[in-house]
Amino acid sequence: MKKASLAHVALTLALLFPATLMAALPVVTVQIINFPSTNGTVEVSLFDSPESFLVEPFLQRSGKVNESHSFETKFSALPPGEYAVVIVHDANDNGKLDSGFLDIGGESYAYSNGVKPWFGRPDFDEVKFTVDETDVVVEIDLD
C-alpha cells in the first residue's frame, strides 16, 4: 500500500511540474484604448522575431471592443525574449484592414511602443520590447 501511495505522489508531481513551470513564466498584457467605435473585431498579433514580423504571428488573440472603447488580452507563459505587438481593428468585420483613400480614414491599427510610421511599416527593432522574468504591460492608445 505504501509503494502505491508513493507512486501516486510521484505521478501527481510529474504531471504538475510542467504546469508549475508555465505558471512561473511571464505574462504580457496588451491594453488598447480609444477605439473609434465598438463595431467589429480587434485582432492582437504577437511577433517574436524580425523574420516573422508582419508575416507570421507567434500568437494571436481576437475579440470585441468593449463599451468603454477599449480591449485587453493576455499572452501567458512566454519564454524570455524580444516581442512586438500589432493590433488591427476590423470595424466592419470583413476580415481585412481597410486603409481608406491614401491611407486616410480607414480602419485603425497600431504598433507597440507607440510607433506611428508616416510611410510604410516600422522595423521590428522600432516596436520590440523585452520580456524577461517579470510580467509586461503593453499600452496602446489609438487616439
- Per-residue pLDDT tens digits for 86-123: 999 988 776 767 565 444 556 688 999 999 887 789 99
CB atoms inside a 10 Å sphere around CB 114:
10
Residue 53 main-chain phi, psi, to 5 deg: -60, 125
Per-residue confidence at 124, pLDDT binned at 50, 70, 90? very high
In this structure, what C-alpha cell is assigned to residue 107?
480602419
Q: What is the pLDDT of residues 54-94, one digit of tens each?
A: 999 999 999 999 999 999 999 998 999 999 999 999 887 76
Q: Is 80 helix (H, G, I), strand (E, B) or coil?
A: coil
Instruction: Give the pLDDT mean for 5-26.
Output: 58
Residue type for 98, please?
D
Q: Is the CATH code 2.60.40.10 the one for domain 25-141?
A: yes
Residue 17 confidence (pLDDT): 55
Determine the straight-line distance between the first and last CA of the chain, rounded to whole angstroms. 66
pTM comes to: 0.79
Domain ranges of the chain: 25-141
Torsion sign (Cα): 98, 101, 105, 111: positive
Cα–Cα distance between 143 and 79 in angstroms, integer? 31
